[in-house]
């Protein structure tokens, strides 16, 4: 299918190269381009479009739900219209001999993707797209816009400044009477609402990019669908060749121009692939540099740790040696103390032995003294016993008298109590 598109481009380019091949149309029916690819139901106010149909000035192109089309303009510009869209070609002026001209299109709703052609290449400010909230000025690049209720989102897709393809830097100027925002970096976007200046340029997110791509999904499906057979491709080529023959082109010229344009398309693809490969290589190089730095830092850290460990080991050995010396000294001191204690104990035991001997001698001396005392005490004891026996009998008598008296008093009390009770 890609080959078909390139051939379609080539055939369109033929229309712009030779001024003698221009159609002699009235102002009302000025040729703008040809329908290159289509899916679903796409129509104008008066007819339903199909691949190979001509597009005229001031025609409103209406793409229904799940539909889309790609229009190839005479200056090699490409307009891809997404689903639920309404696009009008307001102005198209093109001089093939000088590539001078002007293109003005308006998007009332939906999505439009623009790849600028020869007019923008010569004069970058010559292609503008009008939206309800303002204008989009293309400066020779590829961009896409989505118009919804009260809001317009614009994305720069094509090469910006500092591109590696050797292409002129492209940009899109988004603005209105309240302000302007320049998109000059690929995959940068801005939003514009009514009554406000467009927002600052920002890098598009993955979800936002999915939204932009979704609008062109229907057309991609049509290109890859099984309906696009070889026979249909041949028919499309034949119809385009017939139209070119009617305009005055010869077979050889058609073939050569188609080949040239196919080659150019291939070169562009190769350049894009090379750019992507370079970007990947740069990313890999950056990643490798980061890894190398990290590894170097880790190695330095390991070396430092190893040095610290060695130093700590040396310190530990020194400490151990000092501790061992201290322990040896302490052991010697404790041994000396122990020997001193033993000597003191021996002396003490000797003193105890001497004391015991002295105590034994004292005990031997005391024994005869005790015998003398016992002998002296026994004699007066016998005298006391004889004296004490007489008063003991007196005490017993006194006690008996007291007891008798107590009993008599108790009897008297009892008798008194009985008397009182009787009364």
Q: What is the pLDDT of residues 344-383, one digit of tens each?
A: 777 777 777 777 776 666 555 555 544 444 444 455 554 4
Instruction: Identify the pLDDT of residue 327.
Output: 78
What is the distance between the alpha carbons of residues 406 and 417, in angstroms, rounded to a whole number?
17
**For the residues 56-65, what does the mean pLDDT come to?**
93
Minimum mean pLDDT among 131-140, 141-150, 227-236, 339-348: which range?
A: 227-236
- The answer to whether 42 and 99 have CB atoms below 8 angstroms apart is no
Residues 6 or more apart in contact with residue 377 via CB below 8 angstroms: none
**For the residues 120-132, what does the mean pLDDT come to?**
87
> Taking Cα atoms as reference points, which of 125, 121, 86 lies closest to residue 104?
125
> Taking Cα atoms as reference points, which of 44, 53, 57 lies closest to residue 71?
53
Structure tokens given for 363: 């005990």
Instruction: Identify the pLDDT of residue 201.
Output: 93
CATH of 2-288, one of 2.60.120.1440, 2.60.40.1510, 3.30.470.160, 2.60.40.10: 2.60.120.1440
Residues 6 or more apart in contact with residue 115 via CB below 8 angstroms: 77, 78, 80, 142, 158
Name the pTM for this structure: 0.50
CA distance to 130, 161, 181, 182, per residue, from 201 (Å): 19, 14, 7, 7
pLDDT at residue 157 greater than cutoff 70: yes
Number of C-beta neighbours around residue 196 at 10 A: 13
> Taking Cα atoms as reference points, which of 11, 2, 404, 1 lies closest to residue 237?
11
């Amino acid at each position: 299918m890609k080959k078909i598109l390139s051939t379609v481009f080539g055939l369109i380019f033929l229309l712009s190269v030779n001024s003698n091949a221009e159609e002699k149309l009235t102002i009302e029916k000025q040729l703008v381009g040809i329908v290159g690819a289509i899916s679903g139901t796409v129509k104008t106010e008066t007819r339903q479009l199909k691949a190979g149909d001509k597009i005229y000035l001031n025609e409103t192109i209406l793409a229904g739900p799940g539909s889309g089309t790609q229009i190839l303009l005479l200056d090699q510009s490409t307009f891809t219209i997404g689903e639920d869209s309404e696009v009008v070609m307001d102005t198209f002026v093109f001089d093939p001999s000088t590539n001078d001209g002007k293109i003005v299109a308006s998007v009332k709703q939906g999505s439009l993707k623009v790849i600028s052609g020869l007019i923008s290449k010569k004069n970058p400010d010559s292609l503008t797209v009008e939206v309800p909230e303002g204008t989009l000025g293309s400066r020779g690049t590829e961009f896409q816009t989505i118009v919804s209720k009260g809001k317009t989102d614009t994305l720069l897709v094509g090469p910006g400044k500092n591109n590696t393809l050797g292409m002129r830097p492209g940009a899109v100027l988004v603005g209105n009477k309240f302000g302007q925002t320049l998109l000059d970096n690929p995959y940068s976007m801005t939003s514009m609402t009514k009554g406000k200046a467009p927002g600052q340029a920002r890098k598009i997110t993955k979800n936002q990019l999915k939204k932009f791509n979704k609008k062109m999904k229907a057309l991609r499906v049509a290109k890859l669908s099984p309906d696009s057979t070889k026979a249909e491709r041949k028919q499309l080529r034949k119809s385009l060749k017939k139209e070119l023959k009617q305009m005055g082109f010869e077979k050889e010229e058609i073939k050569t121009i188609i080949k040239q344009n196919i080659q150019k398309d291939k070169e562009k693809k190769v350049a894009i692939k090379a750019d992507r490969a370079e970007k990947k290589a740069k990313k890999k190089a950056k990643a490798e540099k980061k890894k190398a730095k990290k590894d170097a830092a880790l190695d330095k850290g390991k070396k430092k740790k190893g040095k610290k460990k060695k130093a700590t080991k040396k310190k530990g050995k020194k400490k151990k040696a000092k501790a061992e010396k201290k322990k040896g000294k302490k052991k010697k001191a404790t041994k000396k103390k122990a020997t001193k204690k033993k000597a003191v104990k021996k002396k003490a035991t000797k003193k105890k032995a001497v004391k015991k001997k002295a105590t034994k001698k004292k005990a031997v001396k005391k024994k005869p003294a005790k015998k003398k005392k016992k002998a002296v005490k026994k004699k007066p004891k016998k005298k006391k016993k004889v004296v004490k026996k007489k008063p003991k009998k007196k005490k017993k008598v006194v006690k008996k008298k007291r007891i008798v008296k107590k009993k008599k008093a108790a009897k008297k009390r009892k008798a008194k109590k009985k008397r009182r009770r009787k009364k």
